Structure 1
């Protein structure tokens, strides 16, 4: 009977799907093939192009169609290699290529900024997107042939929305080597606490806060540790000794107001509903994509791919053939 109809609302998470072939083809064409030939001469460069494709997919495709699965970069590269004609010939080497790229990536120089308030008692830290992410000074990897200060300006603007170009002194920086990676942070002092901060990029920064320097000191003598306030400070601690020395040599202008009792102050935070990613019905297909790579012929050209050259003519020919077959 109509009067007894019961309407039920399901609390089950919305199903997610993998990107369709047309979308993967478009991403491959836009970010991999439509670039200068010199960018197709090594797998490192190709993977940096795939990172841009991944960001575009997450920031635009998933935003516009929430039914699409949010993918890790490794999942995304697996799909691209399995489904894009330009990358498919190299699918049997994807595990070695990915490992080689991640090793290389952690040697790419990083640049950014240590932003201090007017009293030099607080610094601005950003927190990564993923749940459980650590805090760090705003910074990022240098692009090819990019100057350190240019990278710092670009990365700080992307992660905080703050323009440091007129405040940056080329001689005021702290540089450390973490593992095999050189990290240079320019010191930007005297920024007002009420400055508006907000990242320009999506799904990269989850929170921006002012933190007191005396609260983020290492809890022990170990360089990589948590602060006395329990925060994860793996990318902050290595700079603290040099930063204290710089402040001692460059004291703040007299008369700046200090509030010794003030705690950390959040200036921007993403809505919690936008964080993380739920379960997906597409996981089996992702696992299959990975197993297909494992089942391919185990003919490995070697552990390093830095002398790799993309066979662009044959790839373009195969793509043209595929398009012609679809048209017919």
Structure 2
């Protein structure tokens, strides 16, 4: 386990999670759950995955000495330390392999969010270095409806609540390998809306992109747009999306792009990502009556004026006293 440190830029992160922390995570996320969630290793590893997210998002951030672990490394530690999982440690490799294979069969839902002119869509970029851009989407939870999952995943990844904009019949569905992927087409989102993910260390950037720039040579799952953008699960949806748009012309008239958000401009970037940015953007809930709040720097000083008369009076009194 000596080689688990991920980055030489953080030499202080050398300590594996102590037994007390692993026991707490095991108790919180694995043991104290409904009995049916412990009836298969697939469900158990989903619980361990939640414990891993909690460890990375909270324990590691609060303790600079703790190692940041991959999911496989963390799961191995949990199997070795958790009494309920320890009897199966000899089968760990097979269990983990079966779980990763199973995850690629879990249905995925999300959304294709279009701007008012239907010329641009919102894409999110993953957290890891070299990550691809994709539509906001994620795997369904147990017994979760497709549209419910889509709303939840979009909210988690962009901070956008599209529940009032989602139409049950407006979606594109493809099967990639053994995985069904359904993306609902969402319209009515203003380009100048503010976005920020609710999850940590999952999304590094959010941007609007022109649809015509995303067109690849084929419909491969992994592709590059005409602008060189690295894309994942985007190309298979573009042809059907173009057909949908032709059958549902936008209400908003096309306008001069000079009045719009710059093409490909990042509308949110996590702190610490290359290129800077601010992860403290306010969340804009589309489909609600919330008004845009002025959060730009210096707001409290914009209407400030010196009380010149009082200052001069005070100076005169000071001179007279001297």
2:232 and 2:72 map into 1 onto residues whose CA distance is 23
- Residue by residue over 1:71-107, the C-alpha shift from the partner in whole angstroms, topping out at 9 and shown as x without a partner, is 1100100110111111111000000000001111100
The answer to whether the aligner puts 1:223 opposite 2:220 as a matched pair is yes
* Greater alpha carbon shift after TM alignment, 161-170 vs 252-261: 252-261
Alpha-carbon shift at residue 222 of structure 1 (Å): 4.8
Which residue of 231, 234, 257 corresponds with 1:236? 234
Q: Is the 8 A contact 2:41 2:99 kept in 1?
A: yes
Q: Is the 8 A contact 1:140 1:151 kept in 2?
A: yes
- Residue by residue over 1:269-298, the C-alpha shift from the partner in whole angstroms, topping out at 9 and shown as x without a partner, is 0122699xxxxxxxxxxxxxxxxxxxxxxx
Q: Is the 8 A contact 1:78 1:94 kept in 2?
A: yes
Higher Cα radius of gyration: 2
Superposition RMSD on alpha carbons, in Å?
A: 1.8
SS in 2 for 1:23: helix
Alignment-derived partner of residue 272 in structure 2: 272
2:231 and 2:107 map into 1 onto residues whose CA distance is 19
Give the direction of change, closer, same or farther, for the CA distance of 1:267–1:77 in structure 2 (3 Å limit).
Answer: same
1:113 and 1:12 map into 2 onto residues whose CA distance is 36
Alpha-carbon shift at residue 138 of structure 1 (Å): 0.3
Alignment-derived partner of residue 305 in structure 1: none
SS in 2 for 1:228: coil
TM-score w.r.t. length of structure 2: 0.79
After the TM superposition, which residues 1-328 of structure 1 pair with which residues of structure 2 at under 5 Å, given as runs?
13-218=11-216, 220-224=217-221, 225-259=223-257, 262-272=262-272
SS in 2 for 1:223: coil
Alpha-carbon shift at residue 223 of structure 1 (Å): 2.6
Alpha-carbon shift at residue 263 of structure 1 (Å): 2.2
TM-score w.r.t. length of structure 1: 0.77
- Residue by residue over 1:178-227, the C-alpha shift from the partner in whole angstroms, topping out at 9 and shown as x without a partner, is 11100000000131011010000001001000001011110x23534211
Of structures 1 and 2, the one with the larger relative CO (CA 8 A, separation 6+) is 1
Give the direction of change, closer, same or farther, for the CA distance of 1:31–1:117 in structure 2 (3 Å limit).
Answer: same
1:274 and 1:52 map into 2 onto residues whose CA distance is 27
Q: Is the 8 A contact 2:218 2:235 kept in 1?
A: no
